[in-house]
Amino acid sequence: MTAPEVLIVGGGAVGSLLACDLLDQGVPVRLVDSKPSLADSDPHSRAVMIWPRVLELLEGTGVAERLVARGRPAHDVSFFAKGRRLATVPLQELDSPYPFGLGVVQRELEDLLWARLTELGGTVECGTELTGLDTSGELPRAILAHRDGRTEETEVPWLVGADGAGSLVRRLLGIPYPGLPFPLGIALGDFPIEGPAVSGVEYHYGPTGMLPLVHLPDGLCRLATVLLPGEEDWSERPLADWQEMTDQRTSLPYTLGEPLWKRTYFPRPGVAERFREGRVLLAGDAAHSVVPLGGQGLNIGLQDACNLGWRLAGVIGGAYGQSLLDDYDRERRTAVEQVRTVIRTEMELSAPQTPEDAERRDEALTAAENSGFLRRVGAPLMSQIGLSYAERDEPLWRTPLHRRLAPGDRVPFFHTTRRDPGAPRLPRSGHLALLWPGATAGDDWPTRAARAARTLTPRVAVHDLAELGAEHRRTLLPGFGPEPVIALVRPDGHLDTLAPVHRPQECLDRLDRLTPSRSGK
């Protein structure tokens, strides 16, 4: 049996996705979890929404279409108050092969990931608990306790903590996890529901508070409410109380049935001071935990796995130097701050101080829709399509929707057969060079493209975008610009380098800096 290159602690969605991603790239992985069995995983998960950008990334692991078949598409997000719809964030207009959110419980995703893990030759070692971690040597040494009472010490080249907000990996490393206190509880549950559902995601603002609704398959709906200080625990209240709250807060005539389950929990938002300690890395809630408004928390953790997977595989395979892993911390911290901005905005909208504040909120939402702001900015932010690692002077919401691509931006190129059967697929590892002919492919383009391809091909996969149809090229024009260029794209679909087509050496120089034998690292 091949010795594992990576030990992943935590067999939930984030740890399982990372394990699948690495196995799919030929990296031996060991995945352990303290739960006695997968059947002991909580079927009543807090997360119920997968956003478009994560569906794009899950496609690379082979589970996106299977997940879509299990979920309920949400083509927009609507806001209601006083019996009327105030505004809508349209997702169906996004430049994505998945222009919708997906209402699906986290356990469904985990079941698919565990099945995919088995297909790839992996498994979750349940009943195996990390009890100690020594990083004083060259490689991390983990102490594992097995359910039969046996204790094991194992040394691994890399270790990833994906073991939740209370992460023992993080605590053993002594990494602080500061965060703003959130003293309020959140009560939630899944209810059968009847009524005129208009959207997969709804935010209803009523005089007694906000009520978000996420519609799920089979006529179910996720309801959630915030417990104010001193308020009785909603998870202990009967159906009649939940129905009364729904009647008070929603602007649509919904009738609830007996819930499948309901509970109360208290979030512990925080962000680790660092996501990497030598050869140990943190992902998911172990690295950051946010207030669960807007369904962003699980999605940001899944993106951690996809950002980390290609980096670790490349470093282990020798294609990249270890310095590539330094950018994981910086990029994912940037992503967390962008998500926190979305959540902060939603919290401010949900709790106006006075009736006058509520009126101003309602007017502002309507104005945001009428001005196109929700389409131009709200949809990319909420869907995480607009998440960017690029360093810009202005935040996303002050830049045009169709801005010129910069290193760190998601490339709006559909590397999926779902949208364009002729489009290239991103390699599972290694970069992809897209040859962009500009606004119009001139007569000399075949010669210029062939010259660039000959220079690049020994080091990177190459695809000529002139082979795409004119309509698809028009879609890409705002991002790539009117001049012929080479777009060097990372395995996660973000732009690495943009260079003139007659200077392919700039792309090779960039690859040299990433390669240990050439960079000297």
Report whether pLDDT(76) > 90. Answer: yes
State the pLDDT at residue 100. 96
C-alpha count within 13 angstroms, C-beta hemisphere, residue 352: 17
- Kindly provide the residue ranges of all beta strands, DSSP E only, lying in 104-208, ordered along the sequence: 124-126, 128-134, 141-146, 151-155, 158-161, 185-194, 201-206
Report whether pLDDT(8) > 90. Answer: yes
| Weakest mean pLDDT among 16-25, 82-91, 310-319, 434-443 | 434-443
- 276 vs 480, more confident: 276
State the pLDDT at residue 179. 77
Mean pLDDT, rounded, for 482-493:
93
Report whether pLDDT(7) > 70. Answer: yes
Report whether pLDDT(488) > 90. Answer: yes
Residue-wise burial string across 69-105, b where 16 or more C-beta atoms lie within 10 A, e elsewhere: eebbbbebbbbbbeeebbbbbbbeebbbbbbbbbbbb
| Weakest mean pLDDT among 102-116, 365-379, 413-427 | 413-427
State the pLDDT at residue 521. 45
State the pLDDT at residue 264. 86
Mean pLDDT, rounded, for 400-423:
72
User: What is the token pair recorded at 435?
Assistant: 């040859």
State the pLDDT at residue 209. 82
Contact (CB, 8 A) for 235 and 111: no
pLDDT band at residue 485 using 50, 70 and 90 as cut-offs: very high
d(CA 360, CA 352): 9
pLDDT band at residue 337 using 50, 70 and 90 as cut-offs: confident
pLDDT by residue (tens digit) across 97-140?
899 999 999 999 999 999 999 999 999 999 999 999 999 999 99
Report whether pLDDT(402) > 70. Answer: no
Q: Where does residue 274 rank: exposed (0-12), middle (13-18), buried (19+ CB within 10 A)?
A: middle
Report whether pLDDT(520) > 50. Answer: no
State the pLDDT at residue 47. 86
pLDDT band at residue 201 using 50, 70 and 90 as cut-offs: very high
Percent of the chain's residues with pLDDT above 70: 91
Mean pLDDT, rounded, for 428-450:
89
**Whole-structure pTM value:** 0.93
Query: What value does the mean pLDDT of the chain take?
Result: 88
**In Å, what is the CA distance from 410 to each residue of 295, 380, 404, 492?**
21, 11, 11, 8
| Weakest mean pLDDT among 116-125, 204-213, 336-345 | 336-345
State the pLDDT at residue 470. 76
Q: What is the dihedral of CA 439, 443, 444, 445, to 10 degrees?
A: 40
Mean pLDDT, rounded, for 239-252:
93
Please list, in sequence order, all residues whose beta carbon lies within 8 angstroms of the beta carbon of residue 129, skipping any fewer than 6 positions away: 32, 34, 144, 145
Percent of the chain's residues with pLDDT above 90: 61
pLDDT band at residue 230 using 50, 70 and 90 as cut-offs: confident
> Within its chain, how far is the Cα of 52 from the centroid?
9
State the pLDDT at residue 92. 92
pLDDT by residue (tens digit) across 270-317?
899 999 999 999 999 999 988 776 678 899 999 999 999 999 999 999
Q: Where does residue 399 rank: exposed (0-12), middle (13-18), buried (19+ CB within 10 A)?
A: middle
Could you tell me how many residues make up the chain?
A: 521
State the pLDDT at residue 414. 64
Mean pLDDT, rounded, for 388-399:
65
